[in-house]
């Protein structure tokens, strides 16, 4: 009979199996991140702004930078969501430390949004 203990870890994958397992974990993370309205809004903004960059005559490097900034934003949004989930799990009651952790994650996302704004302003001005 298979072990049904929810605390038992699955066997560790090695070799090519590890690559496929890691891909599955990443897909699971993307599925979780898609549940966040902020991430869906960021994806929508990316899809709407890419044609704006092209229409504004952005150089290839600027478009590359826009795409790179979006990927960094998605990564930071994923980490912010992870921090929020962990804080909610470990400390479901309100705490100043929990609030600070969530606020710092939010600040990191805001900094990247500001970087996007600066890049867009640069492309439009130049």
In a domain, 5, yes or no: no
Backbone CA torsion sign across 75, 81, 85, 88: positive
In a domain, 92, yes or no: yes
In a domain, 67, yes or no: yes
What's the confidence (pLDDT) of residue 72?
98
Considering 42, 77, 84, 93, which one is annotated as catalytic? 77
In a domain, 90, yes or no: yes
Query: Is the pTM of the predicted complex or chain greater than 0.85?
Result: yes
In a domain, 26, yes or no: no
What's the confidence (pLDDT) of residue 4?
66
What's the confidence (pLDDT) of residue 6?
73
Q: How many domains does the chain have?
A: 1
In a domain, 53, yes or no: yes
In a domain, 28, yes or no: no
Distance CA 66, CA 14 (A): 36
Split the chain (126 residues) into runs of 10 and give each run's mean pLDDT.
70 87 95 98 98 97 98 98 97 94 98 98 96
Q: Which two tokens stand for residue 3?
A: 């072990």
In a domain, 73, yes or no: yes
Q: Which domain holds residue 63?
A: 37-125
96 classed as catalytic: no
CATH of the domain at 75: 1.10.287.3610
- SS3 label, residue 23: helix
What's the confidence (pLDDT) of residue 50?
98
Distance CA 80, CA 73 (A): 10
């Amino acid at each position: 009979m298979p072990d049904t203990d929810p605390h038992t870890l699955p066997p560790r994958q090695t070799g090519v199996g590890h690559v496929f397992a890691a891909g599955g974990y990443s897909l699971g993370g993307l599925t979780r991140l898609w549940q966040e309205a902020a991430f869906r809004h960021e994806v929508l903004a990316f899809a709407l702004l890419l044609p704006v960059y092209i229409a504004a005559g952005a150089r290839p490097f600027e478009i590359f930078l826009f795409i790179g900034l979006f990927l960094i934003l998605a990564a930071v949004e994923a980490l912010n969501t992870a921090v929020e989930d962990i804080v909610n799990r470990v400390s479901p009651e309100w705490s100043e430390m929990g609030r600070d952790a969530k606020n710092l994650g939010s600040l990191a996302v805001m900094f990247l949004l500001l970087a996007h704004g600066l890049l867009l302003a640069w492309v439009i001005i130049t």
